Amino acid sequence: MAGTPTETQATRMLVVATLLCSYPGIDATGQAHMEYPPNTYVIPTPDPVMFPESFYLHCFEKGIDGILIASCGTDSPYEGSYEQLAARIPKVYAQMKARGISIRRLKLTAICSVCTKAFLKEVSDMEAVMAELGPVSGEMTAVTA
Amino acid 37 reads P
59 binds another protein (CB under 8 A): yes
Q: How far is it, in rounded angstroms, from Cα 23 to Cα 28?
A: 9
141 binds another protein (CB under 8 A): no
What part of residues 7-36 is at the interface with another protein (CB under 8 A)? 7-10, 12, 14, 20, 23-24, 26-27, 29-31, 33-36
Residue partners of 144: CB distance under 8 A and separation at least 6: 99, 100
58 binds another protein (CB under 8 A): yes
Q: Which of 46, 94, 98, 117 binds another protein (CB under 8 A)?
A: 46
Number of neighbouring beta carbons within 10 Å of residue 58: 12
Residue partners of 134: CB distance under 8 A and separation at least 6: 11, 65
Q: Can you name the residues that pair with 15 across neighbouring β-strands?
A: 42, 68
Of the candidate spans 2-10, 98-106, 126-134, the one that interacts with another protein by CB under 8 A turns out to be: 2-10
131 binds another protein (CB under 8 A): no
3-state helix, strand, coil in the chain (%, to 5): 50, 15, 35
122 binds another protein (CB under 8 A): no
What pairing do the DSSP bridges indicate for beta strands 66-71 and 106-110?
parallel
Shortest distance in whole angstroms from residue 142 CB to another protein? 20
Rule CB under 8 A: which residues touch another protein?
A: 4-10, 12, 14, 20, 23-24, 26-27, 29-31, 33-39, 41-47, 49-53, 55, 58-59, 62-64, 74-81, 84, 88, 113
